[in-house]
Amino acid sequence: MPGPSAVRRLAATAAVVISSFTSIAVAGAATQTVTKENVTATLTYHGIYPLSQHPHLMISLDGKVVYDQSVTSAWCGKECSPNVIAGVKKVVHIVHLEKSGPPSVVLDLYSGGAHCCAIEQVYFFKSNSAVIEKFERDFGDPGVRLVKLGAGGSFDMLSADDAFAYAFTDFAASGMPIEILNFAHDAFHNVTRSFPDLIAKDATQWMNAFKSQASTHYQDSVGLVAAWAADEDMLGHSDAVARFLAIESKAGHLNSALTPATPSDQKYVIALQKFLRKHGYLQ
């Protein structure tokens, strides 16, 4: 991918939480056990990626087993794999997703298949009880990292917006703007706009990638500038984005290897603005 790929950007930015971790391979099976505070989680699966299967999760609270079930998902059924494709061997975490209350167990899963799909599962203790509820979200190709971004010690989920993949060009040339979610009140919430410094850093990376296209006469630049425009719109710079797109369109710098534009053609700019409005970047 020209410019910073979403996966590399996440790997460089995110700090994965490490608590007590064990990874053991025995007779084709693997076990990962994490303990934090009064919670212990053990993930067991069989085989080696990408043929690993039959994942099973057991969670204990104060030494008592409160959850003991096969891992299933709406996206991969009973055949989910630990997401070691992301380059992180540890796929089970125990973290505080909310500032108060007990920690939650989080699993990194992979559905398999080309360009698909990083799934994050949250096993959340209901308030003042040992009852566990499961929630999950498909983060697509960009994947996700658990990171401490805000105050209070809770963790957020750092990713990128997979909606931009293939939106204006092929996957390899598609840029995906930063996306940050938290988990609270039994749901995932997009909180990206709460971190303007990270958005600005991301925008700078995409603009640098766009400028690097000058050496190839901007042969496939629309995916990169789309990610930059999304970041800048989140920062409230929509007027400046519109002016920049008008200038670059006139100069013939907004091109796709799939559907090349001409310097006088505003179809891409119109399509991009419509796309950004649809996905909540442009008001």
- pLDDT tens column, 221-256: 999 999 999 999 999 999 999 999 999 999 999 998
**Of 26-30, 157-161, 219-223, 241-245, which gets the smallest average pLDDT?**
26-30
Better pLDDT: 151 or 143: 143
Domain residue ranges in the chain = 6-194, 197-278
Give how far Cα 11 sits from Cα of 96, 152, 189, 236, 237, Å: 21, 23, 22, 27, 28
Q: What are the start-end ranges of the H helices in the chain?
A: 6-13, 196-211, 222-234, 238-250, 267-278
pLDDT confidence band for 129 (50 / 70 / 90): confident
pLDDT value at residue 21? 34
Q: Which residue has the higher pLDDT, 126 or 204?
A: 204
The whole-model pTM stands at: 0.84
Could you give the CA distance from residue 234 to residue 46 in angstroms, rounded to a whole number? 43
Is the pLDDT at 2 greater than 60? The verdict is no
pLDDT at 220 over 70: yes
Mean pLDDT of 188-200: 97
Percent of the chain with pLDDT over 70: 83
Q: Phi, psi at residue 94, to the nearest 5°?
A: -125, 115
